[in-house]
Chain A
């Protein structure tokens, strides 16, 4: 299973995106699917950097494997547990001045993926993102 470990710094988001884009291409995703995979992983990793490690740094290990219906990506970190499934839905429709920007990243991640699994263990946190190929929903 290909894997990549990086320091939890925003400068490494592009490496993580390039790494999972390769997995998405191997899984047979088209341009839109590859973009969706990169965006979901970027949002997930940015959240780990900001909320999991609280900007203090640490390591993120990203791995991907071909899944019978598409691609499965796992992000591992040892920061504070942050289950994206506990993040409330964002404000999508209030007016400009009332609009809050929180939760947009997790929302995009959910929209881009078919399944999101989260486990927090003694070995750290494991976030698994699964995306199906379009014809296999």
Chain B
């Protein structure tokens, strides 16, 4: 898995590619925590290059969303692949996140 971050005027985009499981979710959690620890709580998670996400990834997203909202920000999801979106639905996570189907609209959320 590869993770890149890009800072815009009003938010930061985290982009992860590949597969998120119990092994790789550690790096994803670190990426979110690094931003949140530096009070960058407006975060777009660009999921367009993700192939797979297990519940380990969902736990990272839940924890990041709680911290972001406590800090007055939010995590929004962009371009969630269809099979990962189905898991988000099955785990009841969809109502906890705003989902965008393109990056421009997701960045424009902030």
Contacts and interface: CB of A to CB of B under 8 A. Distances in A.
A116 to B, nearest CB: 16
Dominant secondary structure at the A interface:
helix
B55 A105 contact: yes
Contacts, number: 72
Nearest to A32: B83
11 contacts: A10-B22, A14-B21, A31-B83, A35-B52, A35-B83, A92-B92, A93-B95, A96-B65, A99-B62, A99-B96, A107-B90
A97 B54 contact: no
Interface stretch (A37-45, A63-71, A72-80, A125-133): A37-45
Nearest to B19: A14
A122 interface: no
A79 to B, nearest CB: 15
A49 B23 CA distance: 11
Interface residues of B, number: 23
Contacts of A111: 90
Interface of B: 19, 21-23, 52, 54-56, 58-59, 62-63, 65-66, 69, 83, 86-87, 90-92, 95-96
A interface bracket (residues with beta carbon within 8 Å of B): 20 to 34
A108 B45 CA distance: 22
A13 interface: yes
Contacts of A90: 91-92
A11 B23 contact: yes
